Amino acid sequence: MIILISLGIEGTAEKTGVGIVDSDGNILAMAGKQLFPEEGGIHPRIAAEHHAHWIPKLIPQAIEESGLSYEDIDLVSFSQGPGLGPALRIVATSARTLALSLNKPIIGVNHCIGHVEVGKLDTGAVNPVSLYVSGGNSQVIAYESGRYRIFGETLDIAVGNCLDHFGRETGLGHPGGPVIEKLAKQGSYIDLPYIVKGMDFSFSGLLSAALREAEKGTPMEDICFSLQETAFSMLVEVTERALSHTQKDEVMLCGGVSANSRLREMLKTMSEEHGAKFYMPEMKLCGDNGVMIAWLGLLMCKEFGPMDLADTGIIQKFRTDEVDIPWIDNSKSYLKLSDDLIAKGAESNIVKSHYLGEPAVLKDRVPKGYRIPEIDNKIRKSRCKLEAKLLSDAKRAGVVTPVLYDVNLEDKSILMEEIDGIIVKDIIDEDLAFRIGREISKLHSADIIHGDITTSNIMLRDDQLVFIDFGLGRHSPLDEDKAVDLLVLKKSLQSIDYNLAVKYFDLVLKGYNNDKVASHIADIESRGRYTH
């Protein structure tokens, strides 16, 4: 078999990288430089100047390290996006110049997918749920129906941005993550907002609250400990939710924030609690680097061939789920449940039970080993209490939910009717999609936010749609929150069948029949949270 060699150029933000990889996955060279701003965050123009200065130096350095000649290079790969516009343009121009001067083919690739693929190459993971966290991106990614799907992401700023911003504003320096991690080891917990909305998370409110604590003079060690524990618990919970929904048995951590040992510990603990294997690539491959671009370039070129120069323009908002991925084996090895469990969700264990001789289920919010007790107890108790109320409120709104038998706040458990039905995920069609939209409209008209409307949390019983698992629910009159609720369902539909998802979701919106809320969905999707 012919071995091909790819040279990759990375420069989506503050790191400049050049890597050389062969088609057997051997890393032949890895060179890079990082920009450290004197003050403030990463300025796009300064990042671009940094890349323009270093790329011409790093290319010959990588060639020398590899022991190859320029003629040995078979493919020039580059980060096409997402990222900072000026920085991406320098990278694309450099790649085009190199490809033209060597008369070699060229290909642009998605930066986020590069992180996942190089992680799989390094760890041997086959088909994981990946938590990708960096200064500019925070996403929970898993392969379904021919593409990498974004199961959860930030609704505002990335976690790395959150930590860096806190570091800059409080004088801890940039990047903030390493200093925060060090100070957190001497801290104690203070209450900070924990914001998970369905499959997404939000860090701006957490950052503002942490900065207010700093202004009040709260010990910096306590703020750092609480900021880190809260932010990482949110990330791991959403990863756990994606793992529960997809039933995959592998979890992988990648991206620059992977350097944090506490985040690694938490994700590993969660994986073990679900019987899933935990992977993390070598640290030098977690941050932005040229190797991941070179490797993804080879994978893409093998399937689709090289690009025409006319197609090598940058894509500043390049979504992870916009790329066809035909090379992945999607034969799943599913998580195995113990005999006493009906289901092991992200929120709870569902156990068979009885009530007055009738079949029932006990939703047991078991302690999460990855969360500190202060956060874990607060979340489990508040969600248990609120879910019980929401089940009753939803019934009053005309939506069918399980009959509530008992609530035990001390054990954080709910005893309820067992629904003998079929999960909508397995039977979704056009009629059901329309009907689901009508039922969600009833909830939202009563200002009830389900919080986790996936096709796994709706069942069909005797031609009745039954909504279950209000564990992330709350009350809100805001159209924004209702739109986020619907977006959870949209992502869930995409994970079943991407081609039909658009049709099904259009029918959901038709049944929902509220253009004002629907317009917020496009607004949320168009925000800059998807890029650096």
Distance CA 73, CA 465 (A): 58
Per-residue pLDDT at 7: 98
Share of the chain above pLDDT 70, in %: 94
Query: Identity (one letter) of the amino acid at 311?
Result: D
Predicted confidence (pLDDT) per residue in 320-379, tens digit: 989 999 998 776 555 565 555 455 666 788 888 889 888 899 999 989 999 999 999 999
Taking residues 314-321, report their average pLDDT.
91
Distance CA 444, CA 323 (A): 33
Per-residue pLDDT at 137: 85
Query: Helices 479-496 & 430-445, crossing angle to 10 degrees?
Result: 160
Per-residue pLDDT at 497: 73
Query: Identity (one letter) of the amino acid at 531?
Result: T
Share of the chain above pLDDT 90, in %: 76
Q: Cβ contacts of residue 464 below 8 Å, gap of 6+?
A: 400
Taking residues 442-453, report their average pLDDT.
95
Which residues carry out catalysis?
A: 452
With cut-offs at 50, 70 and 90, classify the pLDDT of residue 39.
Answer: low
Q: Do 144 and 284 touch, CB atoms closer than 8 A?
A: no
Per-residue pLDDT at 476: 95
Taking residues 239-250, report their average pLDDT.
90
Picking from 75, 87, 106, the residue whose alpha carbon sits closest to that of residue 11 is 87
Distance CA 235, CA 335 (A): 21
Distance CA 290, CA 294 (A): 6
Lowest-pLDDT range of 9-23, 237-251, 331-345:
331-345
Res. 499: pLDDT tops 70:
yes
Res. 73: pLDDT tops 90:
yes
Taking residues 100-115, report their average pLDDT.
97
The rounded radius of gyration (Å) of the Cα atoms in the chain is 24
Taking residues 219-244, report their average pLDDT.
96
pTM confidence score: 0.87
Predicted confidence (pLDDT) per residue in 401-432, tens digit: 999 999 999 999 999 999 999 999 899 999 99
Lowest-pLDDT range of 217-231, 266-280, 389-403, 491-505:
491-505
Q: Do 524 and 199 touch, CB atoms closer than 8 A?
A: no
- Render the burial of 302-333: b for 16+ CB within 10 Å, e for the rest: eeeebbeeeebebbbbbbbbebebeebeeeee
Give backbone dihedrals phi and psi of 287, rounded to 5 degrees, phi first. Answer: -75, 170
Q: Within a 13 Å sphere around the CA of 24, how many CA atoms are in the beta-carbon half?
A: 5
Picking from 174, 150, 151, the residue whose alpha carbon sits closest to that of residue 162 is 174
Query: Identity (one letter) of the amino acid at 87?
Result: A
Angle at 127 between CA 108 and CA 195, to 5 degrees: 85
Distance CA 355, CA 377 (A): 26
Question: For 457-519, where are the E strands, in sequence order?
Answer: 458-461, 464-467, 474-475
Picking from 219, 138, 135, the residue whose alpha carbon sits closest to that of residue 175 is 135
Per-residue pLDDT at 324: 92
- State the chain's mean pLDDT as an integer: 91
Q: Do 4 and 22 touch, CB atoms closer than 8 A?
A: yes
Q: Cβ contacts of residue 509 below 8 Å, gap of 6+?
A: 437, 486, 518
Predicted confidence (pLDDT) per residue in 451-472, tens digit: 989 898 999 999 999 999 998 8
Lowest-pLDDT range of 25-34, 262-271, 476-485, 522-531:
522-531
Taking residues 516-523, report their average pLDDT.
88
Taking residues 212-235, report their average pLDDT.
97
Question: For 43-128, where are the E strands, in sequence order?
Answer: 75-81, 106-110
Report in angstroms the alpha-carbon separations of 484 from 150, 489, 515, 530: 14, 9, 14, 15
Strands 15-22 and 27-34: antiparallel
Phi-psi region of 2 (alpha: psi -120 to 50; beta: other; left: phi over 0): beta
Taking residues 491-499, report their average pLDDT.
77
